Amino acid sequence: MKKLFPLLILLFTLAVPVESRADIYSYVDAEGTLHFTNTPSDPRFQYKVVVRGLGNKPRFARYGAQRGRPVDPKVYEDHIRKAALIYNVDPHLIKAVIKTESNFDPMAISEKGAQGLMQLMPGTASDLRVINPFDPRENIFGGTSYLRQLLSRFGGDVSLALAAYNAGPNRVEAKRGIPAIPETQQYVRQVMSHYHSMADVRPSSHGWRTSIPN
């Protein structure tokens, strides 16, 4: 009965029409007990369901990610630090991409199908051997690996790598610069803004060019 109680609460919540929304997260611990919460503070919690008021439509973020209630970014610090060391990518840049892409929501899904913290498309995730894009560690390592590929492809130019992350590398190469796509240009500005606010970025310290489009 103890294990069924949280489930009964969830079913009751779903059965009652409400005017507000609630994001529900759950996980099963080592003893088989099912846990629910609407304020996750542990990365083991996985997004379960969204309870919405009658007539409410799903909300989509600026770049297409449908966001729930984000987990405290601090729980990802270890994954980000390790991925940064393995792939030689500034951890502040990784955080800036995550902030822009999903606002640290591990279960974010875009209208186009991009998934997780760093919004990996299914095809890209497959190429990167990411089995579960909603797993924070897998997503961060996969997204950081992809960032490293793009940084190498565009000679370390952070702005071009970010433009390629958003619009695809072929468009950036065809334009020989940031494509004239408003969303992509705004995306680069936003990531770079977060990047600069998270760290005192000095290009000479790491050799990256950090030009921001006008």
| Residues that are catalytic | 101
DSSP letter assigned to residue 209 = B
Are β-strands 109-110 and 46-51 bridged in parallel, bridged antiparallel, or unpaired? unpaired
Burial annotation 178-210 (CB, 10 A radius, 16+ → b, else e): bbeeeebbebbbbbbebbeebeebeeeeeebeb
Asked if residue 83 lies in contact with residue 141, where contact means CB atoms within 8 angstroms, the answer is yes
Q: What angle in degrees, to the nearest 10, is found between the helix axes of 158-167 and 91-102?
A: 30
Distance in angstroms (rounded) separating the CA atoms of residues 126 and 130 = 6
